[in-house]
Amino acid sequence: MGDLIFSSWGGQVVDSRRGGGVGADDVALPKALASGTPVAGVMGWDGIAVWGDGVQVIDLARAYAEGLVRNSCGQCVPCRVGSKVIFDCLDRVCSGKGRPTDLSTVERLAARLKDQAMCDLGRTCGKAFADFATHFKAEVEAAVAAGSEIPRGTYRLKVTAPCKSACPAHLDIPTYVELIRKGRFLDSLEVIRQDNCLPGTVGRVCVRPCEFNCRRQNVDGPVQIKYLKRFVADYELDRKRPPRLPKPAADKPKVAVVGAGPAGLSCAYYLAQMGYGVTVFEALPEPGGMAAVGIPDYRLPRQLLQHEVGLIEALGVEIRYNTDIGTDVPFEDLLKGEYKAVFVAVGARLGTGLRAPGEDEAREGFMRGADFLRDVALGREVFVGKRIVVVGGGNVAIDCVRTALRLGYEDVKLVYRRTEKEMPADDVEIADAKAEGIEFLFLHNPTRLVLDDNGKVKGVELIKMELGEPDASGRRRPVPVEGSEFVLDTDAVIPAIGQAIDLGFLPEDGPVKADRWNQVEVEGLNWLAGVANGVGVFSAGDCVTGPLTLIGGLAGGKEAAFQIDRFLQEGRTEPLEEWVMNAYVAQLNPYDDAEDVGLPATTEPAHIHHLPVEERIRDFREAEVGFTHEEAIADASRCLRCYRMLLVAVGGDGAGAPGSPTADR
């Protein structure tokens, strides 16, 4: 890649065309795709940037206009008509038939797009065309005068939105939200299921990265994307509408999936739709993995999760329950030829301890968070006293305290070593726990368990903490306050400070290797862990990334499914262009929390309903009640349709196969 020639990205104009080079690092834009392909130029919602002298900027703008023509929804004249006229002007110039008025036409229509388009796709494209018309006037005039054809470049086109980019599964959120606004609830659900096989589940327990990247929150609060997803999933179920799912013919090789958690289910869902025979091996007696036994029923009713898994099974997926790979079936057996590929998705199913004195000697009243939730979910006996202390600041810790309350504990405390501001738990879950009477002890940390002579927990020693400098996570590091120790009486202690991955089923000399964090090693976006006897072994989800999110597991399973298909059909693996572009767009940060959206604060987000506290803490009935039709439509109407379009010129030689840019939406 050469030096930066021009950039208007982010509103900062850098122009070295009139002499003097500018370093490629002077503009904060990635210089290559995740696949390693160099980027020669970009045109998108925040401007234009060009490196080296191989990019024909007029052709770049023509390809960008062509992308807008194809992706415009057509609901407003500036975009529906203007985009076509802009394309025609630029296409004439590139064909050597340009007119002297073409540039002024582009400039005039770009201004209308920027100011008058109904949605952000037209407005942001208008900004890009305005930058082009302003800074490349001389180039266009010279091309018109020369009357020579400009060769087509090689491009990658991506249509995204801040919410869509932030979603690990990259759901087309603006489209499904708009369909809800129009009352087309089943159509909305059909869009969701293109990228998410568990919409009702995710609509209840997702951590909502989309909402934290919703431009509406810069005005009066984010669109309630999570609960809108729940609404359409519940609508189909409550009204007993038949799901709109394909009926594939299993005419391709068999694939084994280890684990029926979110990643495994997602992989099976997409492989089945592609025609593969899929067998899922699950150690538990039911599907869902940690979604089933790590998330309490008051948040995620098991019958709902089982219903959604049933739809996956209806595609032809076989799930063998109570089958533990490594114990009931050796992992090596999956590599003997019956299955042509294996997907490992065992999740992070083990609880971790405090690593504090007294832990190993405890005989009663000490339980690890993930183990505690799993035992409760499976109906196993757990210790119940009057007082309990849960240690941790994530959603698992919140689930533990709220579960303990429902089991009969009267005094429930959560201990966290930082302040509430630093807690990684969802704000909604924290608020619900507080409403139920959970006591929070911030800036405290356990130092040892206090046991009686029989090993029964009777207390926990805590030390007060204060916040120091930020650590690697960006949060201020908790520092013990010397001499501040005290003993808090309690009958039980549950550490909920992490989860561990069990890879003991993998043979040491097998194709799958673990890294120093005991996570499966894979080839980046290929998700390939190894090959044995011609069988490709792939992996994704928590066992690759460490414990993350349910939606992240679904995304990893989907990506792996398409890689498995490429491996079996083409005998190779390489990052899929869609996911390469997703990764590139994410680096550009489509959402700006400091942006003035230019709208008055006129509405509030719809609020989810809850059962009364005195009712919901008695049992494990679902605590939240979904939106009404009116609430869902009203909240969906708040969406700003913040689509953005990015065109990347690759290769840097200005040449490439003629035709449209490769598009991905």
pLDDT digits (tens, 9 = 90+) for 176-185: 999 999 999 9
pLDDT for residue 659 is more than 50: no
Give the domain CATH number at 68: 1.20.1440.230
Kindly state whether residues 10 and 134 are assigned to the same domain: yes
Write down the pTM of the prediction: 0.93
Contact in structure between 287 and 579 (CB atoms under 8 Å): no
Kindly state whether residues 157 and 259 are assigned to the same domain: no
Q: Stretch 414-418: mean pLDDT, rounded?
A: 97
Q: Count up the domains in the chain and report the number.
A: 4
Kindly state whether residues 555 and 446 are assigned to the same domain: no
Kindly state whether residues 613 and 656 are assigned to the same domain: no
Domain termination site, one of 500, 530, 552: 500
Q: Stretch 101-130: mean pLDDT, rounded?
A: 94
Q: What is the pLDDT of residues 583-612, one digit of tens each?
A: 999 999 999 999 999 899 989 999 999 999
Give the domain CATH number at 627: 1.10.1060.10
Cα–Cα dist 440/538, whole Å:
42
pLDDT for residue 141 is more than 90: yes
Q: What is the pLDDT of residues 531-567, one digit of tens each?
A: 999 999 999 999 999 998 999 999 999 999 999 999 9
Task: Give me 467's structure tokens.
Answer: 């916040």
Nearest residue to 588 (alpha-carbon basis) of 214, 218, 216, 161: 161
Cα–Cα dist 158/272, whole Å:
27
Q: Stretch 513-537: mean pLDDT, rounded?
A: 94
Nearest residue to 374 (alpha-carbon basis) of 393, 398, 349, 354: 349
Residue 3: per-residue pLDDT: 80
Kindly state whether residues 483 and 416 are assigned to the same domain: yes
Kindly state whether residues 465 and 445 are assigned to the same domain: yes
Domain assignment present for residue 581? The answer is no
Contact in structure between 5 and 546 (CB atoms under 8 Å): no
Name the 3-class secondary structure at 654. Answer: coil
In DSSP terms, 480 is beta-bridged to: 465
HSE (CB half, 13 Å, CA atoms) of 435? 15
Task: Give me 351's structure tokens.
Answer: 């609880």
Of 20-29, 442-451, 618-627, give the lowest mean pLDDT range. Answer: 20-29
Contact in structure between 610 and 624 (CB atoms under 8 Å): yes
Cα–Cα dist 436/439, whole Å:
9
Q: How many other C-beta atoms are found inside a 10 Å radius of the C-beta of residue 558?
A: 25
Kindly state whether residues 391 and 486 are assigned to the same domain: yes
Confidence of residue 660 (pLDDT cuts 50, 70, 90): very low
Phi then psi for residue 439, to 5 deg, are -95, 130
Residue carrying the six token digits 């920027």 = 114
Handedness of CA 5, 9, 13, 14 (dihedral sign): negative
90 or 469: whose pLDDT is higher?
90
Domain assignment present for residue 511? The answer is yes
Kindly state whether residues 50 and 121 are assigned to the same domain: yes
624 vs 297, 299, 408, CA distance in Å? 11, 7, 21
Confidence of residue 524 (pLDDT cuts 50, 70, 90): confident
Kindly state whether residues 419 and 486 are assigned to the same domain: yes
Domain assignment present for residue 374? The answer is yes
| Mean pLDDT of all residues belonging to the chain | 93
Kindly state whether residues 594 and 525 are assigned to the same domain: no
Residue 657: per-residue pLDDT: 33
Task: Give me 471's structure tokens.
Answer: 């650590």
pLDDT for residue 661 is more than 60: no
Q: What is the pLDDT of residues 245-285, one digit of tens each?
A: 988 888 999 999 999 999 999 999 999 999 999 999 999 99
Edge-to-edge strand order for the sheet containing 318-320? 318-320, 276-281, 252-258, 341-344, 535-539, 528-532
Q: What share of the chain is helix, strand, coil (3-state, %, to 5)?
A: 35, 20, 45
Contact in structure between 518 and 501 (CB atoms under 8 Å): yes
Domain assignment present for residue 441? The answer is yes
Domain assignment present for residue 580? The answer is no
Range of the domain at 218: 163-244+588-636
Contact in structure between 192 and 231 (CB atoms under 8 Å): no
Q: What is the pLDDT of residues 362-409, one digit of tens each?
A: 999 999 999 999 999 999 999 999 999 999 999 999 999 999 999 999
Domain assignment present for residue 437? The answer is yes
Cα–Cα dist 355/495, whole Å:
10
Cα–Cα dist 330/340, whole Å:
16
Kindly state whether residues 213 and 358 are assigned to the same domain: no
Confidence of residue 474 (pLDDT cuts 50, 70, 90): confident
Give the domain CATH number at 412: 3.50.50.60
Domain assignment present for residue 540? The answer is yes
Kindly state whether residues 368 and 240 are assigned to the same domain: no
pLDDT for residue 626 is more than 70: yes
Residue 658: per-residue pLDDT: 33
Say what percent of the chain tops pLDDT 90: 85
Residue 19: per-residue pLDDT: 59
